[in-house]
Amino acid sequence: MNDKKMLVKDEEQEVNLREMDPLKVIKAAAEGIGLILNDPKPNCKKCHGRGYLGRHADTGEPVACSCLFPKYDSEREPSEMILPQNREQRRAAKRKNGGK
């Protein structure tokens, strides 16, 4: 993606990044590295459903919005559960956890 031209499925046909649809460029780059992207959220506050925030001025590469990337679960181990502070919430949490 650092080059101004991107190879399409045919080896001989090159397309200028500025002329292509930005979302197609982002999805093609993600497919090239093996990443599966979500569809853009229509109510996203950053990209307003376009899937990209803008373009780099010098290269013309689109900047992907964070709503395209999947949410991954944290890989850290779950620590001890911190119980809520008031009595009603503590009792509800204990009932939910099986009375522990």
What is the predicted pLDDT for the residue at 86? 85
88, two tokens: 């009603």
What is the predicted pLDDT for the residue at 39? 92
In a domain, 62, yes or no: yes
In a domain, 99, yes or no: no
In a domain, 82, yes or no: no
In a domain, 37, yes or no: yes
What is the predicted pLDDT for the residue at 4? 43
In a domain, 50, yes or no: yes
In a domain, 53, yes or no: yes
In a domain, 19, yes or no: yes
Phi then psi for residue 51, to 5 deg, are 95, -10
Domain total for the chain?
1
13 contacts 6 by C-beta, under 8 angstroms: no
> What is the span of the domain harbouring residue 9?
1-71
Per-residue confidence of the chain (100 residues) as pLDDT tens digits? 444 445 444 444 456 777 888 989 899 888 888 888 999 999 999 999 999 999 988 888 899 999 998 877 555 555 666 655 788 887 887 888 776 5
Side-chain half-sphere CA neighbours of 80 within 13 A: 4
